[in-house]
Structure 1
Amino acid sequence: MGRSRSRAVVVYATLSLALWVLLGPLGLGAGIDLPSFDFLPRKRTSGNTRDHGIRSTSPDTKRLQNLKLTSMLSHAAGFSVIENLYWYNSTYFFLTDQPWQFPDLTRVANFDLSSQPHSEDEIAAKIWNIWLGPVSPEVQEKHQLGSSISLDDAEEMFANPVILDSPMMINNDPKFINHMYHWLGETFLGAWRVWSNYALRTGLTLPNFKTVAFIKAWTRSDLPPGTPNDLVWDDLPGANKWFTEKFFPGVTIEDRPIWEERAESGKIFLIPMAVIADRRGGHWGPSAAWKPWGDVLRLPVSSDWLVNLRDRVLENYAGPFSLKRSTRKPKLLYLSRQSAGRSLRDQDHEDLVIELQKLHVEGLVDYEEVEFDKSVPFQDQVAKISTVDILVAVHGNGLTHTLWMSPGGYVFEMQPAGCTVTDYSPLAITNQIQHYMVHETTFCTPRDCPKRGCEKDAGINSDSIPVTPSVITDQIRLIVAGEAENEVDIPIR
């Protein structure tokens, strides 16, 4: 019955269509109504739908695609990976039709390092939002994210920027980098972490940075007369320049005069891929804890994210130190600084050396004492530290080398009893190193240590820091025996 009905419908439709085609030209088909088949399924073929989906048919699609829109690819307070970053007259521009993808701009880029509450003119970044006009009188432009711009105006303003080499790492601060720890252990470390997080999230093989830009700091040799020395990026020993060039062979290092010239040119510049490190933005993060990398170091990364850097520094190493690791006993290094300003009390230093040597005599460790000064090349310093399992040192710049230890090691950092200055313990933690803060007669692990700071009259820069050696050596014996309770689950090799 159903088949007969379908056949009849087809015959009827065919005859009706034939009559309409034959009689239409004679004007006789106007009164003939084609049948309505409401009982048959319909398929929409109009508008911009295809197979129950949607595709833009607007010519604006190609116009938007021809514009290089800005995207935030990875971010933690103070550190950002940004695709298609524009720069004009000392301000970063984010060109987008998705303004809500960008975080609070105070955590991305600022003009200075002030810790005071932000005002709009202190933020060094601006969103240009490709939007249509408001949909009702109640929609006020002043409440929008960024500044609205039409597609026509966006094409006129951003269509032909000057393209800079990328990937580019940008240090957005004028101060606190002319020191190995503040550059390597804070600003660079945070930038490398967010870049490594982007690699983890995407699975991409990321290229080396072609440019490292210190856009607000001078090179020491170009510092204008009367300008404070803390406004340079290169430290006196030369560590910042040496490490940066070892990390990224052939890198171009740019400084403030180059960017001042660009600002004066009146041109818009485009960085196809950029990493911005902004100290003030990091300090405003919820996990800052007195340091700019409190949030960024919580981003997940591949376990070898620092090994990668160490291997770059030691590639083709031919110095005096062996890179072979001991397979029999842990290697213990006492990094002394008795000739520096911050040091142990002389008698305590001598007693500590005696007790550490006993561990060697007992066959528990291979022990060595060394002091890094300007006569020891940086490559040799990294080589020495890279083979160390247990590092003992007074609070100081040398503990930046914790970054070059292999994950699974131990660090004993000695400070005055009334001080807990957490500059270096996060470096150990992020490298999967167990850290012990030694306070004369006791020690604590990072999560149990007092809050950051020094008690009155207990300055961190003392040249007579007291220490009881057995506090360190007793714990080392437990480590070697496998009996130490640690925050990081890392067995000794």
Structure 2
Amino acid sequence: MKVRSGATKKNATNHKNSPALGVFIFLGLSTLIYFGPPSLHMIKNDVAEQVESFAYSDIDFVSQYQSEGNTRCHGEGSISGLPGFYVFDKLWYKSGTFYLFSDHPETITLPKLDAITSGHNPFLVRPTSESPHHIKAKDQDSKIRCFPHEIIWLNAGIPPAAFQRRHIAKRFNWEYHHYHFLAESLLGGIASLDLVNQQHTNDINPLGERKRWLFIPYEGDWKDPYGLNEPVVNGLFGNHLVDSSAWREISSNGDWVGLEKVVLIDRWASHRYNTKANLWNKMALDVFDSLPSSAITPTQSDTGLTSLFSGYRNNFLDYMEIQPLQRGKAGMALYEVPNIIYVDRQASGRRLVPEAHRDLLLILRDLERAGLARTVVGKLEEMSYEDQIKLFAGADIVIGVHGNGLTHQVWMAPGGILIEVFPSGVFLRDYQVVSQVVGHEHVAILDNHVYTREEWESEPGKLLATSPNDANDRNIQLDKGFIEKLLKEKISQFNVVH
């Protein structure tokens, strides 16, 4: 049995030596290192395809010399999706207002503004004759910029007073806490785009195959203080990022900005209008539960077992220079025997009682000595970010007390198992919904028994922690015989013959 703690890798980039994953909610502001916005290249159609080195080469800059047929973002606007995750085709922006253009504007009914965004940007539907392409000849000095790919737009918004009283207002930077940033906003936006695409094509592509942009237009403090969000953005989107400084440069001159397809993500809009988001305090839950089973159940492909998130996972691990291990088929271990990772939270307030922790370490040692499993104990707060990701990327089974570190399950190969241990009387769906989307079996342990889906679905109000403190500062009991039997049962689910 190995214990992973100290950082061992060289500090090649600033994400390699990030500190620990934090508590469920962090207070204060992260530090934004500002290097100034990138310069924009003005590109004509005849040379646009030749410029590949810079992200903005993928934006069509439309001049009066180009006809409307040569650009994207031209055509009938539309809206679909769910509140807080509405997906727009052919959405336009100018001087603080969003526009949809249509030959039949009377057929487009926009939802209430606060179901789209908690900000103040108005949305207008206008006839096609007023679209940027049609009025261009009258305004020779203005520019039309079109982002021709799909966009995930994170809108920080302004929470209503009711949310401020519940102490989850924007001043806590709730949206950019790592779990909420990656597992709710980004994963929810990715799922929304694929859900809409699937409805139109009857086929869900593994995510990561399409080129997508990330917009964070209004918030400069998205780089969390633990250094986790920035490498995720770099690994998933590369230079396809429009941050607040770049957005100001693009939009502040009163020019038109076209978005070919964009999902506008707003936590407060989702919580106001989506039933499950409110019930479970999970903003993307209604989106996740709307996905077809084919999108959330690992399926066989030429490269092995894949899930909805596989393309993104592989891209990120490549960026981190970590081999993206795959399961050849369902029930296949990644190594000669299943690899079990125990996430050790004993340095935090929410932890196992000392005897239970010692018993679990002895069980893991005995499983390895018997040749039934490989076992590693990971103290994430003492590990480099790269080593944390590598730890999860090679896991078959992860066991740990409820905590932010379990967000890393997104980097596990589809078909893994997550065993989550809860404090007595508390159940939250934070990591269950992630398992559901990225293709893992989730096992909830509550009061020394497996807390089944039938049980927690029947009593969401009883065990849902309405305040993050409800899940903190608990010393959790764990029966040795129970957890040993459970681990052996889960090990037996893996076929170790490759």
Above 0.5 in TM-score? yes
Instruction: For residue 174 of structure 2, give the secondary structure of its aligned residue in structure 1.
Output: coil
Q: Is the 8 A contact 1:89 1:264 kept in 2?
A: yes
Which of 186, 189, 194 is residue 187 of structure 2 equivalent to? Answer: 189
Match of 1:392 in 2: 399
Separation in 1 of the partners of 2:350 and 2:122? 40
Cα shift readout 1:74-103 (whole Å, capped 9, x = no counterpart): 523322332221123433222222555556
Unaligned runs of 5+ in 1: 1-61, 113-121, 131-149, 219-231, 483-490
TM-score for both structures, normalised by structure 1: 0.67
Q: Is the 8 A contact 1:78 1:278 kept in 2?
A: yes
Q: Is the 8 A contact 1:435 1:446 kept in 2?
A: no
- Does 2:248 match 1:248? no
Deviates more, 1:318-327 or 1:361-370: 318-327
After TM superposition, list the pairs within 5 Å mapping 1:451-470 onto structure 2. 451=460, 452-454=463-465, 459-462=470-473, 464-470=475-481
Match of 2:37 in 1: none
TM-score for both structures, normalised by structure 2: 0.66
Q: Is the 8 A contact 2:314 2:324 kept in 1?
A: no
Distance 1:481 1:263, change over 3 A: closer
Q: Is the 8 A contact 2:152 2:190 kept in 1?
A: no
Q: Is the 8 A contact 2:324 2:393 kept in 1?
A: no
Instruction: For residue 424 of structure 1, give the secondary structure of its aligned residue in structure 2.
Output: helix
Q: Is the 8 A contact 1:282 1:291 kept in 2?
A: no
Distance 1:422 1:152, change over 3 A: closer
Match of 1:310 in 2: 313
- Does 2:422 match 1:415? yes
Distance 1:277 1:425, change over 3 A: same
TM-fit CA distance, 1:391 = 0.8
Cα shift readout 1:220-263 (whole Å, capped 9, x = no counterpart): xxxxxxxxxxxx211112211111111122223412x5445666
Cα shift readout 1:34-65 (whole Å, capped 9, x = no counterpart): xxxxxxxxxxxxxxxxxxxxxxxxxxxx9999
Paired letter, 1:350: R
- Does 2:265 match 1:277? yes
Match of 1:83 in 2: 89
Match of 2:32 in 1: none
Deviates more, 1:411-420 or 1:90-99: 90-99
Which of 74, 97, 122 is residue 68 of structure 1 equivalent to? Answer: 74
Match of 1:134 in 2: none
Match of 1:118 in 2: none
Q: Is the 8 A contact 1:409 1:492 kept in 2?
A: no
Separation in 1 of the partners of 2:325 and 2:228? 22
Distance 1:217 1:198, change over 3 A: same
TM-fit CA distance, 1:305 = 2.1
Paired letter, 1:215: P
Separation in 2 of the partners of 1:249 and 1:279? 24
TM-fit CA distance, 1:347 = 2.6
Deviates more, 1:160-169 or 1:272-281: 160-169
Distance 1:477 1:108, change over 3 A: same
Distance 1:280 1:410, change over 3 A: same
Instruction: For residue 315 of structure 1, give the secondary structure of its aligned residue in structure 2.
Output: helix
Q: Is the 8 A contact 2:326 2:414 kept in 1?
A: no
After TM superposition, list the pairs within 5 Å mapping 1:45-444 onto structure 2. 68-72=74-78, 75-96=81-102, 97-98=104-105, 100=107, 104-106=111-113, 109-112=116-119, 124-130=121-127, 151=129, 155-156=134-135, 162-167=144-149, 168-174=151-157, 175-200=173-198, 201-202=200-201, 207-209=210-212, 211-218=213-220, 232-255=221-244, 257-259=245-247, 264-283=252-271, 284-288=273-277, 289-297=280-288, 298-300=290-292, 302=295, 303=298, 304-315=307-318, 318=321, 326-373=334-381, 375-378=383-386, 380-444=387-451
Instruction: For residue 287 of structure 1, give the secondary structure of its aligned residue in structure 2.
Output: helix
Q: Is the 8 A contact 1:70 1:85 kept in 2?
A: no
Separation in 1 of the partners of 2:486 and 2:110? 45
Separation in 1 of the partners of 2:126 and 2:357? 62
Paired letter, 1:162: I
Q: Is the 8 A contact 2:235 2:320 kept in 1?
A: no
Cα shift readout 1:9-41 (whole Å, capped 9, x = no counterpart): xxxxxxxxxxxxxxxxxxxxxxxxxxxxxxxxx
Q: Is the 8 A contact 1:84 1:273 kept in 2?
A: yes
TM-fit CA distance, 1:356 = 2.6
TM-fit CA distance, 1:444 = 0.6
Cα shift readout 1:274-300 (whole Å, capped 9, x = no counterpart): 232222232222332321111211223
Separation in 2 of the partners of 1:328 and 1:64? 56
Distance 1:208 1:65, change over 3 A: closer
Separation in 1 of the partners of 2:469 and 2:217? 37
Distance 1:441 1:83, change over 3 A: same
Instruction: For residue 448 of structure 1, give the secondary structure of its aligned residue in structure 2.
Output: helix
Count of residues in correspondence between the two structures: 379
Instruction: For residue 181 of structure 2, give the secondary structure of its aligned residue in structure 1.
Output: helix
Q: Is the 8 A contact 1:68 1:84 kept in 2?
A: yes
Instruction: For residue 207 of structure 1, give the secondary structure of its aligned residue in structure 2.
Output: coil
Q: Is the 8 A contact 2:235 2:319 kept in 1?
A: no
TM-fit CA distance, 1:166 = 4.2
Distance 1:322 1:198, change over 3 A: closer
Unaligned runs of 5+ in 2: 1-66, 158-172, 299-306, 328-332
Cα shift readout 1:424-473 (whole Å, capped 9, x = no counterpart): 11111222322122223223133422415249998211152332233322
Separation in 2 of the partners of 1:152 and 1:328? 64
Paired letter, 2:356: D
Separation in 2 of the partners of 1:328 and 1:262? 53
Separation in 1 of the partners of 2:70 and 2:123? 21
Same amino acid, percent of matched pairs: 20
Cα shift readout 1:297-325 (whole Å, capped 9, x = no counterpart): 12236453211111112227656998896
Separation in 2 of the partners of 1:350 and 1:179? 31
TM-fit CA distance, 1:213 = 1.6
Q: Is the 8 A contact 1:323 1:383 kept in 2?
A: no
